[in-house]
Amino acid sequence: MEGLIKGLIDVALGHGNNNNNNNNDDDEQPGPQDRDEQSRSTWAQVVTGEQDNEEEDDNRRSGHRTHHASSNQNRWNRQENAELGNEEWRVSGSRPSRSPQYQKTVHEEYGKYEDAERQGYNKNHWNKEENEVENNDGWETVGRKPQRQPHKIQKDQWHGYKRPASEQEYSDEVEIGDNIEPSEEELADLSQACNKLWELDLNRLVPGKDYEIDCGEGKKVYQKEDMAQGSLFSRLSEDIFRRPTFSRFFSLLDNYNPDQGHKEVVTSEERQEQAAFIEEISRTAPIKYLHKYLSSKGVVPENYQDFKRMMTSLWFDLYGRGGTSGSSSAFEHVFVGEIKQRGEQEVSGFHNWLQFYLEEAKGRVDYQGYIFPRRRGQTPDYETQLITVQFEWNGVLKSVSSMFVGVSPEFEVALYALCFYMGGEDNYIQLGPYPVNIKCYRLGDRIGSVFPIAEC
């Protein structure tokens, strides 16, 4: 019995030794736990070492889109719709909501593709209004820009500006007496004349009272990161949309196809809108001063009606741009903006704050931060009325664009026309607290482009 027991023990011990040997052999073949560790190690290598080049592969493995480390755009693959009502536009009550995957989501009316390419524009589709709709089942996307509570803007009166001239009603002529007569000093110095226009801009808005902006963080022109947590504009008083020159300006903005190579078709109703806008602003102090100044120099007719027709022609007559005749105008380029279709797409023009506000409110503009000023200590804030920014317009980048904020349409029309007729390509002037260069490019006897560059 003892021998039997001892034999059984030996067999048992021998069997254990065989197991140990097998485990030693299996050091080259990891067990389930080791394979799991190796799998995690391999995954880490894929994510950290090949993220830039293999992002799509990683996305398939993970079952969702990962955040691209170099884009820093906080864009997530989430379906959203941005729509505006038929008769009213939804705009800000606090801060805006913009799609965090602005370039990724396919929008039917814009013909967008996942890589943000746009193959062409249609004016009717471009101006199609949308309503912002969300269905996220209560989930909140990390890094998403803050939600803005919408309110409605009544724009019914804008449609009336297309009616014949006999049916138009205009505001009263401004009464300012001798204040619009240019002084000898102003006639001799373009900067003083431009600053006089700034003083005469009685419709200029008050920052913090009539509107609110949030400049966000600054950046260099070459930086592509989105440095703005929200929109540039967080509020604009509804009263502004009822002011005569502002409302007539707004009514013009949907008359254009932004494709730079698209031939514009101007209807008789749109021509009436143009004439009505010029008539309205011609009743204000800046335009009256402009006429006095230019007529004293012999540049424009002394007859005010002839002068108004000249202003209509200067801003609205069509000319060729982007290889297509009749595809652009000074008004469209400077105030509305265009998108170049040759080569890599880019935004051209677009230097008006009212157009920026509306396009931002409709979800078409993605503000990405201000461009650092040349001088330290000149960081823009909520009171700034001249700012240089970077943004995307329907997914197409505008790397740098300067614009006034809060000024009236009549002021900009007068300022740019004055520099066009009396200045050169560079016009270094002082406007209130702002040293500015009004850059002016000519296309023959037309305004090719004109915009401010902050000199501080």
pLDDT over threshold 60, residue 51: no
How far apart, in whole angstroms, are the C-alpha atoms of residue 342 and residue 126?
A: 19
HSE value, Cβ hemisphere, 13 Å, CA-based, for 359 = 23
Nearest to 69 by CA among 88, 84, 85, 50: 50
pLDDT of residue 178: 65
- For the chain, the distance separating the N- and C-terminal CA atoms, rounded to the nearest angstrom, is 105
Which amino acid belongs to residue 323? G
Return d(Cα 215, Cα 39) in angstroms, integer: 46
Asked if residue 81 has pLDDT above 60, the reply is no
What does the CA dihedral 72, 77, 78, 82 come to, rounded to 10 degrees? 70
Please give the pLDDT value at position 64: 38
**Does the pLDDT of residue 33 top 90, yes or no?**
no
pLDDT in tens, 63-80: 333 333 333 333 333 323
Confidence at residue 224, expressed as pLDDT on a 0 to 100 scale? 79
Residue 128: pLDDT over 60? no
Helix (H) or strand (E) holding 388: strand 386-393
Taking a C-beta distance cutoff of 8 angstroms, is the pair 262, 275 a contact?
no
| Spans of all domains in the chain | 186-454
For residue 172, pLDDT over 50 is answered with yes
Q: Which residues are catalytic?
A: 333, 351, 398
Residue 121 has pLDDT above 60, yes or no: no
Summarize pLDDT for 420-452 with one digit per residue, the tens.
Answer: 999 999 999 999 999 999 999 999 999 999 999
pLDDT value for 22: 37
Structure tokens at 392: 């995307």
Among the ranges given (37-41, 120-124, 241-245, 312-316), the one the predictor scored with the smallest mean pLDDT: 37-41
Q: Return mean pLDDT, the chain.
A: 74
- Separation between Cα atoms, residue 378 and residue 238, nearest integer Å: 30
**3-state class (DSSP) for residue 233:** strand
Range of lowest pLDDT (34-48, 147-161, 183-197, 198-212): 34-48
Per-residue confidence (pLDDT) for residue 323, from 0 to 100: 84
Say whether pLDDT at 92 is over 70: no
How far, in Å, CA of 190 to CA of 67, rounded? 51
- The predicted model gives 191-210 an average pLDDT of 96
Q: Which of 150-164, 168-182, 219-233, 279-293 has the lowest mean pLDDT?
A: 150-164
Question: If pLDDT is split at 50, 70 and 90, which confidence band does 113 have?
Answer: very low
Q: In terms of pLDDT, which residue wins out, 142 or 391?
A: 391
